[in-house]
Structure 1
């Protein structure tokens, strides 16, 4: 009997010493893509179990704010699309100051100068079109062109209250063209849906010939055979470095840092390209087929005033809602 007790105690000690460590990631990366990336990370790091809460950036912001209020933050790592949100969290003292080894391979404009967050992927708001309805020649070439009556009741866009990328897009377009741009879109009967995946699915299904969505979502559908392709608008792609950061409250700092380093590493960037058609933030990793590298995309991108978006977030959402939804 004593022998069995000793064996059980040894097994318990082994589980404590060598068991897996769980970390929680809050992210807006689509579920199918994030699941594949998480599996690749855990295969490379068998001692760590990555749990994922996946939703739109707006939902994650609300969830994290409630956890901060209650003093019970569940997330260890944050990886969403709304770049300016990280500045807000940094000012609130909620992010850990970290210096991942793999960050040395990133361009300076993909790193917070103070070391609180780092771009883990480059996502880009583009014009998607249904290839059965339009061709590269007949599809709209610019954001401005979408206010033309030619596209009346033919255009679908995501809601910035749900999508962080949509916040960036709405903020950039409002700054460039003024809110009259959205008034013109409303007159043109542009339709608002929840998120970028919803837009892409509706364009691919032929419900709308054109839509505003993220490049990698449309590209992933295209690779899988859906009739959807993208246009990089002549008045500027809305390029969004999607940062990754660790919450200061995390009790799993070492494991969380391993995940951050993995995402920024050559292997992690290659996994994002292969599993999610994402544009890598490292110049030593090739982008998806027929896709410009990050530097080229940024070179023709629309200017985004992140300070304007951070300070004016409530106004941006309210103006968009008043114009486009009521």
Structure 2
């Protein structure tokens, strides 16, 4: 079994318990440090956010929520998969173009790379002190990036086509020949979360796991959320490594999907955000980082079933309590060291 960050798990469980005690947070008056940044940000009037953490709809809702809280400062939301977002930022940097103010990814190695290459602004949001301890502990110790998103990635089934008794219970059961042509999954070349999943599965079962999975001819999308779309459309019956938030949102809209928490571990991906050193709107970027670590941010994302990293904001409805979930995660150092290798192995194995 893959080791997971015990402190992170305990902090998440404690955060969920605190949410139950305190209930939903309410928008509060701006704190003094926010007011100061807001005055400076209004002169800049906007910021650009490259993000791979959420799908398009919640990303746009976050942008609107920020502008509602800070009128006069618009957010240009550029949403894609994490790998595509990083490729775009890399192209900007090679061309000497400064467009992005804040960068968010589900791949820890992206922010580690940007820090090592002195591309990030050293800024630790004051509001981060109110995050659950797990998120504070997972942040960059030098203050260059902060964990702003926690993704849980599991399996899902079309409940009108696959019964609970017949459904796979573990990642390993996806290799059963009865699932040939019935599984959908994302691509590590586009999704940071799928890169983490590949590393986790390789550590559990070796790369032979993916060689066996290839024999079942899975439908491969890009984003980790693409299989949810495929399940909704009836193109596949089982989704692998799909985000709980996107799945719960789909279920809430009447789609016949049931989540499966794998017995060999639900993948947990703590995901970071950071402000760019050469961003054209530095004060707006700092203000956005404050927003991303505030209760208002997690209230804006809660309607989309995102996990909350603030104790004042309760967990999403329909999710299993975190202390009841067996979780696994990919080590950040392993992601940075071996992430590219598993992307290449994937292309060699699946031909895409």
Which of the residues 145, 161, 164 maps onto 2:192? 164
In the alignment, which residue of structure 2 is the partner of 1:290? 318
Task: Tell me the C-alpha RMSD between the 2 structures.
Answer: 1.9
Equivalent of 1:27, from 26, 32, 51? 51
- Distance in 2 between residues matched to 1:161 and 1:18, nearest whole Å: 38
Larger Rg: 1
| Segment drifting more, 161-170 vs 277-286 | 277-286
Identify if the C-alpha distance between structure 1 residues 292 and 110 changes in structure 2 by more than 3 Å, giving closer, same or farther.
farther
Alignment of 1:151 with 2:179, yes or no, is yes
Preserved CA contact (<8 Å) 2:248 2:318 = no
Q: Shift in Å at residue 229 of structure 1?
A: 2.3
Distance in 1 of aligned mates of 2:213 and 2:291: 41
Aligned to 2:308: 280
Q: Map residues 53-72 of structure 1 onto 2, 5 A cutoff.
A: 53-72=78-97
**Inter-partner Cα distance in structure 2 for 1:265 and 1:17:** 17
Aligned to 1:9: none
- Is the aligned partner of 1:267 residue 2:291? no
**Structure 2 counterpart SS, 1:196:** coil
The 2-side partners of 1:246 and 1:292 are apart by: 33
The correspondence of residues 125-144 of structure 1 with structure 2, limited to 5 A, is 125-144=153-172
* In 1, Cα distance between equivalents of 2:238 and 2:106: 22
1:18 shift after superposition = 6.3
Question: 8 Å contact 2:302–2:316 — kept in the other structure?
Answer: yes
Among candidates 327, 330, 340, match of residue 304 of structure 1: 330
- The answer on 1:112 being equivalent to 2:140 is yes
Task: Give me the whole-angstrom Cα distance separating, in 2, the residues matched to 1:285 and 1:47.
Answer: 26
Aligned partner (choices 286, 291, 299) of residue 257 of structure 1: 286
Deviates more, 1:128-137 or 1:78-87: 128-137
Q: Is the 8 A contact 2:124 2:146 kept in 1?
A: no
> 1:251-302 CA deviation, whole Å, 9 max, x = no partner?
422211211111211111111112x211112233211112145x537x6211
Aligned to 1:324: 350
Equivalent-residue separation in structure 2 for 1:271 and 1:38 (angstroms) = 9
- Alignment of 1:85 onto 2:110: yes
TM-score, length-normalised on structure 2?
0.83
Contact 1:20/1:49 (<8 A) preserved: no
Once the two structures are superposed, the pairs formed by residues 5-16 of structure 1 within 5 Å of their partners are none
Rounded Cα–Cα distance in structure 1 between residues aligned with 2:91 and 2:250: 35
CA distance in 2 between partners of 1:86 and 1:142 (Å)? 31
* 2:232 aligned with 1:204: yes
Q: Deviations over 1:111-135 (max 9, x none)?
A: 2222111111211211011111123
Change (3 A) 1:129 1:92: same
Partner of 1:101: 126
What displacement does 1:17 show?
A: 11
In 2: Cα distance, 1:18 partner to 1:41 partner: 13
Instruction: Give the direction of change, closer, same or farther, for the CA distance of 1:63–1:244 in structure 2 (3 Å limit).
Output: same
Paired residues in the alignment total 308
Unaligned runs of 5+ residues in structure 1 are: 1-15
Higher relative contact order (CA 8 A, sep 6+): 2
Answer yes or no: is the 8 Å Cα contact 2:41–2:284 preserved in 1: no
